[in-house]
Chains A and B, each alone.
Chain A
Amino acid sequence: MFKSVKNAMAGIFITLFLSSSALAAGQFDGVTLLVGTWGGLWKDNQVENIVSKFEAEGGKVEFVTGSPAANFAKIVAARGQAPFDVVEILAAQVKDYHELDVLHPLDLSLIPNTEFLSESRYNEWLVGSWETQEVICYHKDKFAEEGIPVPTTYRDLVHPKLAGRIQFPDINSGGGLTGLAGVTFAEGGDETNIEPGLNLVKEMNVLKFWARGGETMAQFESGDIIASVVHAGWCLRTKKLAGQNVTTVHPRINDELVGVASEGWFGVMKNSKNAEAAQWYINQFISADYQLKMAIKTGLVPVNQSVFEAMAEDPLVAEMIVLDPEKVANQLRVDYSKVIIPDWTDQWNRAIAQ
């Protein structure tokens, strides 16, 4: 109750502030903000909902699209002269960003919406932007037709009728490390011992490892695959956009954990000249309004906890994504500070190359 009053007050205050400044001049007159993010639907959503507001303040947004890995490579390549102001960062990359010391410390008072985030999802360097739930996405009709039992664990994907008809994330893809972590923990391994996970991946007999999430959508449609390890968002889009009758299974990891969660973050670059605008952008991204739209359109899980209820009203989201906080708390979250990523990649390459 108290919270909502406070929110309302904050909202009124912000509105007043915005309108007054708009009268005088745009808050971001002449500012060009460079945002490092994914392209496609993901970017379009931001253009529609956030950029328009930024432009109303007199600013301009330019997108630098690419996977977080590619964007990080660009920062390294530019020797710290980052080609953006604000950038999406995967949980697995946080360590590298700190090691290179390229982040700008945040002023959380400029990002008031952090209030709706769980405390673990913001700190003085980074603010959480989304979560994903890594699932097994499978084709309901084809499984029923061919009498393949619905999987409940990753191991269930080792099935003669699934041989050569499933996809798994490539280690270099956005879902690569989380995917490998999922199978590893499910098979009794941990951050320092991924051998059990690699063995299971080898047993699976995948058609190919996806490097880009869109491949899952395309290959469900072409009939090449009937199951894929991806995050729930791609499964939702495969159903919504490609019209395939797919749904998700949150794989059982062990006696306690069911499902795998992965985290996305936003950071502001140290050399950014538009740090204030960058933080404004982050604040908009985690606003209830945007997070809800993002969740329903792309199937990602919001970090803004105030929108969970509204999300549940969307039937597809309710079907494919776990929203019960207790269950969400029971999902596997990898502690990437314990992971030596180059080792994982190297072991993966050796195990997987034909």
Chain B
Amino acid sequence: MKFVTYRLQKAIGRFFFGLYCSISYIFLLSPMVVVIGTSLNGPTENVEASFTFPPDSFSLYWYTQIPEGQIDALLLSFVLATVASLCGCLLGVPAALGLVRSNVPGKALISAIFRAPLQIPAIVTGIAFLQLFYWIGDLTGFYWQGSIIGLALGHIFIATPYVVGTVTAILQRFDTRLEEAAVIHGASPRRAFFRVTLPVIMPGVYAGALYAFMVSFSDVPVAIFLSSPGFVTYPVEIFFALENDFEPSLMASATLVIIICLLLLLLVQKVIGLDALLKVGGSRGVG
């Protein structure tokens, strides 16, 4: 009898636990489901702007109506995120190697400098870079705000800590004896690095690059200050979409973004596996 109540208790506990988690998931995912659903509404007579969910009809009409500005912005965001992610790796990987492997004094301070962008509120980063670019512009005559340089600098700034974080995490677990063994067996240190170390830290680099990409790809508070006419990132472009006409084409382009993110994740799953993404602790930044 006691056994049965125990089983029952356990089952009830599991049920409520499952329910709780389901609610969390519904909360988390519903906006995206609604965006995708709404984008499939067809144009109905006289009701051009139709935002019903679930959709009244199934149609790809709004996908043909996506304004050129949003497509341009999406392309810019894509290029920018790629640049931020590449530069993030170029800076972040050596930084992590240097931090973990060397014995320089003041490591804590150096690490704090790399971590700083995570502590600075994003909107502060935005306005700080804007002021910096004004200042540089007033001195040199070249204003960087609203250029790819300006936007990229801002995004490299916020994205690099993620690469440093993921690569550091993986290096700390890496057994340096592997490398040493390689060298003892006649490999040059350089060869040992490229043949042994690099392959091991690659998942960390991929994960960091992906985080950097996504931080740049979804940022609003930095880009809102650094964008300029004809040079607007996608999130900022759709942030201002209501300035004009609120049309479901917005939902259509947003759905495209969701699909892009899903494809990227699929790629990640194929290359390094999703769990690797987390095991390297990339989401924790350097901290």
Contact = CB atoms under 8 A, between A and B. Distances in A.
B229 A66 contact: yes
B160 interface: no
A174 to B, nearest CB: 9
Given A65-B69, A241-B49, A83 B246 contact: no
B47 A67 contact: no
Given A212-B242, A212-B243, A65 B229 contact: yes
A39 B244 contact: yes
A78 B150 CA distance: 14
Contact of B243 (A39, A77, A237): A39
Interface in A229-262: 237, 240-243
Interface string A56-85: 000000101111001100100111010110
A254 B82 CA distance: 59
Contact of A66 (B46, B130, B243, B246): B243
B242 A242 contact: no
A218 interface: yes
A86 interface: no
B18 interface: no
Classify the interface of chain B: helix, strand, loop or mixed.
loop
B244 A40 contact: yes
B245 A214 contact: yes
Contact of A243 (B46, B130, B134, B244): B46
B244 A38 contact: yes
Contact of B229 (A38, A84, A222): A84
Interface in B49-66: 49-51
Contacts, number: 82
B6 interface: no
B228 interface: yes
Nearest to B245: A40
A351 interface: no
Interface stretch (B137-145, B187-195, B206-214, B275-283): B137-145
B94 interface: no
B242 A77 contact: no
A70 B51 CA distance: 28
Contacts of B67: 39-40
A99 to B, nearest CB: 19
A252 B117 CA distance: 54
A83 B228 CA distance: 9
B121 interface: no
Nearest to A34: B229
A260 B229 CA distance: 32
Interface string B244-285: 111000000000000000000000000000000000000000
B175 interface: no
A221 interface: yes
Contacts of B229: 34, 36, 64-66, 71, 74, 83-84
B230 interface: yes
B228 A237 contact: no
A84 B229 CA distance: 9
B143 A62 contact: no
A78 B133 CA distance: 11
B27 interface: no
Q: Which of A65, A83, A211, A217 has the most CB of B within 10 A?
A: A65
Name the 9 nearest CB pairs between A and B, nearest first: A40-B244, A64-B229, A243-B47, A212-B242, A214-B246, A218-B246, A212-B243, A214-B242, A40-B245
10 contacts: A38-B243, A39-B69, A40-B67, A40-B243, A71-B229, A214-B244, A217-B246, A218-B49, A218-B246, A242-B49
